[in-house]
Amino acid sequence: MTDLRIRAATPDDLDAVLAFWKVAAEGTSISDDLSGVERLVARDPEALVLAELDGELVGTVIAGFDGWRCHLYRLAVHPDRRRRGIGGALLAAAEERFVQLGGRRGDAMVLTRNETAQHAWRAAGYGPEEQWRRWVKPFTD
Tens of pLDDT, residue by residue over 105-136, are: 999 988 888 888 898 899 999 999 888 888 88
What proportion of the chain, given as a percentage, has pLDDT over 90? 71
The pTM of this model reads 0.90
Tens of pLDDT, residue by residue over 32-58, are: 889 999 999 999 999 999 999 999 999
Give me the residue spans of the domains in the chain.
4-123
Topology (CATH) of 4-123:
Aminopeptidase (3.40.630)
Tens of pLDDT, residue by residue over 80-110, are: 999 999 999 999 999 999 999 999 999 998 8
**Dist. CA 139–CA 54, nearest whole Å:** 40
**Dist. CA 105–CA 99, nearest whole Å:** 9
